[in-house]
């Protein structure tokens, strides 16, 4: 048995446009933009979405949105999503990057939320 929940909505933006994108989305969502220390590709959009992280991510790819799903068992959650029809695209650190049916990307990562938030909002899977 394991648990998971949607952790973040990422706004993937071509690297050259990342600063303008972060400025736009922070203003549009009434959020405060903060670079993430040690992870320069991310700009956090603080307080944009309740109980979720929202961030602009600089990428060397096309613009898109993707979800991060946090879990207490990355292997089990990845297997669950693969069984539902996702395909594995790659791995980055402890994260698994998947493509859902329809082409959307999602990432499966270890729990990043405070324990009480994860415990209260996660789904339990067999």
CA distance 108 to 89: 12
For residue 51, pLDDT beyond 90: no
Domain at 39, CATH number: 3.10.180.10
Task: Give 51-82 as a DSSP string.
Answer: TBEEEEEEESS--EEEEEEEES-HHHHHHHHH
What residues make up the domain containing 84?
2-125
Tens of pLDDT along 63-80?
A: 999 999 999 999 999 999
Q: Count how many domains the chain has.
A: 1
Name the pTM for this structure: 0.88
pLDDT score, position 83: 96
DSSP annotation of 49: B
């Amino acid at each position: 048995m394991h648990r998971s929940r949607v952790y973040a909505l990422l706004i993937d933006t071509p690297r050259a446009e990342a600063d303008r994108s972060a400025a736009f989305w922070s203003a549009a969502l009434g959020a405060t933009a903060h670079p993430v220390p040690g992870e320069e590709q991310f700009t956090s959009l603080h307080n944009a979405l309740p109980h979720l992280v929202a961030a602009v991510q600089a990428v060397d790819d096309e613009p898109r949105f993707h979800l991060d799903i946090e879990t207490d068992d990355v292997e089990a959650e990845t297997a669950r999503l693969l069984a539902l029809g996702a395909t594995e695209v790659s791995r980055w650190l402890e994260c698994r990057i998947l493509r859902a049916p329809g082409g959307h990307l999602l990432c499966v990562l270890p729990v990043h939320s405070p324990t009480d938030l994860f415990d209260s909002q996660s789904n339990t899977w067999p």
